[in-house]
Amino acid sequence: VPDGERFHETRIPVRFHEVDSYGVVWHGHYASWLEAGRNDLAAAFGAGIVDMQPHGYLLPVVSMEIRYKRPALLGDVVVVATRLRAPRGAWLTFDYRVARGSDGTLLATARTRQVVLNRDRDLLVTLPSVLRDAVARIRAFHRGA
């Protein structure tokens, strides 16, 4: 669903052990690719997991949806294109397109949703300021600002 927004791209070489006995990357491994794309985007804007640790916030994934279009193969470098949607409350929703790096073939699309917990594992209903600021910078990037 292209809507003109700019996605952040992360290149990931397929590893041998990710390929299953069908000769294609096992579908479950995409979860780690999405996470790599998401964390790479966040880190580029100062809100990576390591940046968040001193603040004590946890961002557990509460849903994940993946639609597989074409298989990833041994030798592929995949490109995970990631976009953070405009936040609603304290929910963070990311969209993804996973493509083969060599020819741009779309391999999968995905969406994940996270909530924010504080140090006591209470669910927050609004984003804390450190995250709100990072989200604003990331959203500006997506809009091409």
Helix-then-strand count for the chain, H and E: 3, 5
User: Among residues 95, 126, 125, 97, which one has the least CA distance to residue 112?
Assistant: 95
Decide: is 88 part of the binding site for a second copy (CB under 8 A). Answer: no
Nearer to a second copy, 38 or 83 (CB): 38
Q: How far is the CB of 16 from a second copy (least distance, A)?
A: 6
Q: For residues 31-50, which are near a second copy according to CB under 8 A?
A: 31-32, 35-36, 39, 48-50
Binding-residue total with a second copy (CB under 8 A): 36
Beta carbons within 10 angstroms of residue 32's beta carbon: 11
Query: Rounded distance, CA 72 to CA 16, Å?
Result: 12
Residue with tokens 């580029």: 44
Q: Which token pair is 20? A: 């299953």
Nearer to a second copy, 46 or 75 (CB): 75
Please tell me whether residue 66 binds a second copy under the rule CB under 8 A: yes
Contact 36, 18 (CB under 8 A): no
| Residue 49 Cβ vs a second copy, minimum distance, rounded to whole Å | 6
Return the residue of 5, 44, 64, 105 that touches a second copy, per CB under 8 A: 64
